[in-house]
Amino acid sequence: MIGITSYGGYIPRLRLNRMSIFQSMGWFAPAIVMVAQGERSFCNWDEDTVTMAVEASRDCLAGKDKSKVDAHYLCSTTLPFADRSCAGLVKTVLNLRDDIIAEDFSASLKCGTSALVTALDTVKGGEKRNILVTASDKREARAAYFYEMWFGDGAASLLVGDTDVIAEYKGSYSLSYDFVDHYRGSWNEYDYMWEERWVRDEGYSKIIPEAVTGLFDKLSISMDDVDKLVFPCFFKAEHRNIAKKLGAAPEKVVDNFHEACGETGSAHPFVMLVSALEKAKPGDRILMAGFGQGCDALYFQVTNNIESLPARKGISGCLENKKAVDNYPKFLKFRNLIKTEMGIRAEAPTQTAMSVLWRKRKMLMGLIGGKCTECGTPQFPKMDMCVNPDCNALNTQEDYEFADEPAFIKSFTGDLLAVSIDPPAVYGMIQFENGGRFMADFTDCELSDVQVGQQVSMVFRRRYADKERGFTGYFWKAVPLPGTAPIKEEKADIRFDDQVAIVTGAGAGLGRAYALELAQRGARVVVNDLGGARDGAGDGSKSPADRVVDEIKAAGGEAVANYDSVATPEGGRAIVDAAVKTFGRVDMVINNAGILRDKTLVKMEPENWDAVMDVHLKGAYNVTRPAFVRMRENGYGRIVLTSSAAGLYGNFGQTNYSAAKMGLVGFMNTLKLEGDKHNIRVNTVAPIAGTRLTEDVLPPDLFEKLTPEFVKPLVLYLCSEKCEENGMIFNAGMGYFNRVAIATGPGTVIGDGTQPPTVEDIHRNWDAINDFSVPKEFPNTTAAFGPMLDAFRPKKKDETPETKGKLSVGDIFKGIPKAFRADKAAGVDVVFQFDISGGEGGSWHVTIKDGTCEVTEGSAGSPTTTVKMGDDDFVKLITGELNAMSAFTSGMLKIEGDVMKSQLIEKLFKF
């Protein structure tokens, strides 16, 4: 079967209210009021026949394999080049194959239908299988003329082929007459029109019926076999009369779009046919005729395939996307019908280097950049080196098309100083979601509607006109898409797909922000919120949690609401159960629910103390405990606790809240040790944000600035697999982040550890006790005791600060054979691998077999046990300054492989 396999359309977004032409020029040409109904489409200043053809063709190729297109015919009477293949240009922009025919059909308004017949006959002949036929016109007329009213700009595209046919081609009939209703001499700017009455009576109303009846005879059909009749004729009454003459009932006649966009020249039969196909049902029979120096009539029957054609903008989509314009001088300026002063800057040279255009045609015309074959990062422009700093591979770039990639605005400006036909010039940085960015001009937008994060689509547009040399330069621009949700993130490589998060108190404030972003990044979220008052009073309400769940679902995410209170163990269990029952697991818990009951201590009644403790401190215990059990089973978990500056530093009137918030730090300090070996990380955030809790505390201007969005990124990072941090506290607010630590001063020794010092001793040594010149953090209690035990450890003979530590890591390994106790090695067959980090570090392995010991520098293939340590710590361990058990529990010593065999080390060597 041969026929149409796809269609596409393009009508520019700008529509001029025809009455505005009359309002400006009616004093001069009162008769134009007769056709001043509705709107006509007109190109933006940077659009022309070529750019519209590109858009219609892209629309037509949606869902089609471009590599299968064997020819491209571009049809127009208004091509921007009289001698340069515009079809070849459009073909390059569309990134069609090079080994195809790209040909312009021109010089008659029926060039579109003639090209279509040619294409269908070629496919029928078996020479080619898929041909893209695009018709596009931007016809010019002098100001205040009927034709300025009648004309519109537009394009439409049809793909013809022999597979997946949506409208079967049944046949055609063509007439060629040298009927000159209008013409444009090769040295003229505008068409010369002959008298309308003659054109109407001798042209349209005779030639179209002749072609249609010729087709009827040829195919032995009649108007009864036609469901939709498509033929352009901008004489409204004549359009109706011709249809009547042919015996077509009014409902069969497809609208000629005079009111919606005007007549789009050679594209109009296609525009009307596309509109008919958009509404067609399988079985519909469509007769289409194109007039101009004769007439082509074609007959199609719609097939079932029309129902599976992927969605596209089409003509109806373009007609909906309109910007009504009443500003007639703007229309005149855009069409270069009035001369304005453009300023000195407009005189900048615009010559195009044809050699560069040829060399970089893929980039400049096809918007082709590169994609690294090693790491998959796209980049624009294509270069020798991959831009991904973790890759930087050389010569690994393959071609990558950006034109249809989703992108959004990273930054933009409206520039009134730059030369522009439609100031201000709007341009900015656009970021492709999957990688790649560049500084682009924006078009088809108003500065006031542009937002950072807004999605854009790429369009091929005119950039400059080199009038002196008659050349038009094109490149790709970005169209901000109205109403699209701002994308705040670049391609999110921190994702939570397949993970399940619990966020407590997620119905509002900070928790809501965390939940929304987690869901946006792929997590399934339990949105817990009791919905109580700020002080925790009231029976609660389901609506805050429900609202957040609705928001998540509306954005395509997954979430479930939970209304239990964190303040009881049953509530905590129910929250975790909700996660497990709904989503099957728990990977993250953000303990965030919170209330306030501020009172100075004297007025702090036990119920206020307890209520705050219950929600914040016990709440974290209640939820984390059952979640921790699940995480341990899964060998993975991320827990975030919410502290506060009030707890870390103190705040008047908040003893309850401060105690609870600091209590959470203690909770974390121990939980981090319990979770460590199960890959469960627990960290704490101390946020500052404008929410219900702070609305009467923060000054209004600060409240506005301190949105929860600024805290959210840190908390989400702490929840991610990428975060290896454990037991840390962070302040976060307004984009300022820092780490908080509990640190210990170097302190001092009073006495010898056998006699307790006196109160007076303490007083005398007060400054030394207070010394905080070299604060130190400790990972756990054992490590924190280290300096105390060290202070009273008996010094070795001859040990002075100078001799201490003189032994190097290398010395130790050299000395190992000497320290080896062969008598203890009977039956021992092990390889100990030592990976020592630090300046003196390196890798050694010690092989013990058959009572012998061999030390070799480097890594063993498959060691029995691997010991990992810092160089200083290793020296201290060997020299007895560091206890092996405390080194192990504090994390200074890491043992991998057969941990039990590591105990042999003490037995086998005597240092």
Range in contact with ligand NAD (rule: CB under 6 A) among 385-393, 396-404, 683-691, 722-730 = 683-691
Cα separation of 45 and 327, whole Å?
14
- 4 vs 593, beta carbon nearer ligand NAD: 593
- How many residues of this chain bind ligand NAD (CB under 6 A)? 31
Cα separation of 649 and 671, whole Å?
22
- 294 vs 544, beta carbon nearer ligand NAD: 544
**Start-to-end C-alpha separation, the chain:** 91
Q: Judged by CB under 6 A, which of 275, 455, 499, 528 binds ligand NAD?
A: 528
142 burial via Cβ count (<10 Å: 0-12, 13-18, 19+): exposed
The CA-based diameter of the chain, rounded to the nearest angstrom, is: 126
- Whether the CB-CB separation of 561 and 574 falls below 8 Å is answered with no
Judged by CB under 6 A, does residue 372 bind ligand NAD?
Answer: no
CB of residue 499 to ligand NAD, shortest distance in Å: 22
Phi, psi of 489 (to 5 degrees): -105, 150
CB of residue 571 to ligand NAD, shortest distance in Å: 7
Cα separation of 88 and 333, whole Å?
29
Judged by CB under 6 A, does residue 454 bind ligand NAD?
Answer: no
- Whether the CB-CB separation of 42 and 152 falls below 8 Å is answered with yes
Range in contact with ligand NAD (rule: CB under 6 A) among 57-65, 465-473, 508-516, 630-638 = 508-516
CB of residue 643 to ligand NAD, shortest distance in Å: 7
CA proximity to 566, closest of 587, 594, 588: 594
**Lookup: tokens for 518:** 């987690």
- Whether the CB-CB separation of 482 and 507 falls below 8 Å is answered with no
- Whether the CB-CB separation of 201 and 237 falls below 8 Å is answered with no
Cα separation of 372 and 385, whole Å?
9
DSSP 102: E
Cα separation of 123 and 791, whole Å?
94
Cα separation of 271 and 9, whole Å?
7
Cα separation of 565 and 82, whole Å?
76
CB of residue 504 to ligand NAD, shortest distance in Å: 5
- 241 vs 568, beta carbon nearer ligand NAD: 568
CB of residue 501 to ligand NAD, shortest distance in Å: 15
Cα separation of 131 and 64, whole Å?
12
Q: Judged by CB under 6 A, which of 47, 181, 227, 529 binds ligand NAD?
A: 529
How would you write 219-238 as a 3-class SS string? HCCCHHHCCEEECCCCCHHH
Q: Judged by CB under 6 A, which of 509, 557, 626, 841 binds ligand NAD?
A: 509
Measured in whole angstroms, how far is the alpha carbon of residue 640 from the centre of its chain?
27
- 306 vs 686, beta carbon nearer ligand NAD: 686
- 709 vs 881, beta carbon nearer ligand NAD: 709
Pairing of strands 743-744, 378-379: unpaired
**Lookup: tokens for 177:** 């007459």
Cα separation of 183 and 178, whole Å?
11
Range in contact with ligand NAD (rule: CB under 6 A) among 500-508, 721-729, 863-871, 879-887 = 500-508
CB of residue 674 to ligand NAD, shortest distance in Å: 23
For ligand NAD, the binding residues in 620-659 under the rule CB under 6 A are 642, 644
For ligand NAD, the binding residues in 165-204 under the rule CB under 6 A are none
CB of residue 415 to ligand NAD, shortest distance in Å: 39
Cα separation of 399 and 391, whole Å?
18
Judged by CB under 6 A, does residue 531 bind ligand NAD?
Answer: yes
Judged by CB under 6 A, does residue 612 bind ligand NAD?
Answer: no
Known active-site residue 183 = no
Return the ∠ at Cα 833 (arms to 827 and 838), rounded to 5°.
Answer: 150
CB of residue 666 to ligand NAD, shortest distance in Å: 16
- 435 vs 536, beta carbon nearer ligand NAD: 536
**Lookup: tokens for 626:** 């059952």
Phi, psi of 379 (to 5 degrees): -150, 150
**Lookup: tokens for 800:** 């002075």
**What binding mask, one character per residue, do residues 684-723 give for ligand NAD by CB under 6 A, x or -?**
---xxx-xxxx-----------------------------
- Whether the CB-CB separation of 5 and 302 falls below 8 Å is answered with no
- Whether the CB-CB separation of 536 and 611 falls below 8 Å is answered with yes
Measured in whole angstroms, how far is the alpha carbon of residue 259 from the centre of its chain?
39
Cα separation of 120 and 172, whole Å?
10
Range in contact with ligand NAD (rule: CB under 6 A) among 119-127, 431-439, 505-513, 577-585 = 505-513
Range in contact with ligand NAD (rule: CB under 6 A) among 253-261, 433-441, 509-517, 792-800 = 509-517
- 440 vs 510, beta carbon nearer ligand NAD: 510
Check 514, 657, 717, 736 and give the catalytic one.
Answer: 657
Question: Hey, how many other C-beta atoms are within 10 angstroms of the C-beta on 638?
Answer: 26
For ligand NAD, the binding residues in 810-829 under the rule CB under 6 A are none
Indicate if the alpha-carbon torsion angle 808, 809, 814, 820 is positive or negative. Answer: positive
Cα separation of 421 and 337, whole Å?
13
CB of residue 712 to ligand NAD, shortest distance in Å: 11
Residue nearest to ligand NAD according to CB distances in the complex: 509
CA proximity to 292, closest of 314, 264, 273, 315: 264
For ligand NAD, the binding residues in 123-162 under the rule CB under 6 A are none
Range in contact with ligand NAD (rule: CB under 6 A) among 231-239, 504-512, 746-754, 781-789 = 504-512
Phi, psi of 864 (to 5 degrees): -70, -45
For ligand NAD, the binding residues in 569-598 under the rule CB under 6 A are 592-595
- 361 vs 534, beta carbon nearer ligand NAD: 534
**What binding mask, one character per residue, do residues 724-763 give for ligand NAD by CB under 6 A, x or -?**
----------------------------------------
Judged by CB under 6 A, does residue 504 bind ligand NAD?
Answer: yes
Q: Judged by CB under 6 A, which of 8, 262, 532, 870 binds ligand NAD?
A: 532
- 343 vs 606, beta carbon nearer ligand NAD: 606
Q: Judged by CB under 6 A, which of 262, 314, 480, 511 binds ligand NAD?
A: 511
Judged by CB under 6 A, does residue 663 bind ligand NAD?
Answer: no
CB of residue 673 to ligand NAD, shortest distance in Å: 24
CB of residue 539 to ligand NAD, shortest distance in Å: 12
- Whether the CB-CB separation of 227 and 279 falls below 8 Å is answered with no
- 593 vs 729, beta carbon nearer ligand NAD: 593
- 425 vs 561, beta carbon nearer ligand NAD: 561
Judged by CB under 6 A, does residue 615 bind ligand NAD?
Answer: yes
Judged by CB under 6 A, does residue 566 bind ligand NAD?
Answer: yes
CB of residue 805 to ligand NAD, shortest distance in Å: 45
Cα separation of 480 and 429, whole Å?
12
Phi, psi of 823 (to 5 degrees): -65, -20
Judged by CB under 6 A, does residue 49 bind ligand NAD?
Answer: no
**How would you classify residue 734: left for phi > 0, otherwise alpha for psi between -120 and 50, otherwise beta?**
left
- 118 vs 592, beta carbon nearer ligand NAD: 592
Q: Judged by CB under 6 A, which of 60, 199, 372, 530 binds ligand NAD?
A: 530
- 436 vs 594, beta carbon nearer ligand NAD: 594
CB of residue 668 to ligand NAD, shortest distance in Å: 14
Binding site for ligand NAD (CB under 6 A): 504-505, 507-511, 528-532, 536, 544, 565-567, 592-595, 615, 642, 644, 687-689, 691-694
The catalytic site residues sit at: 657
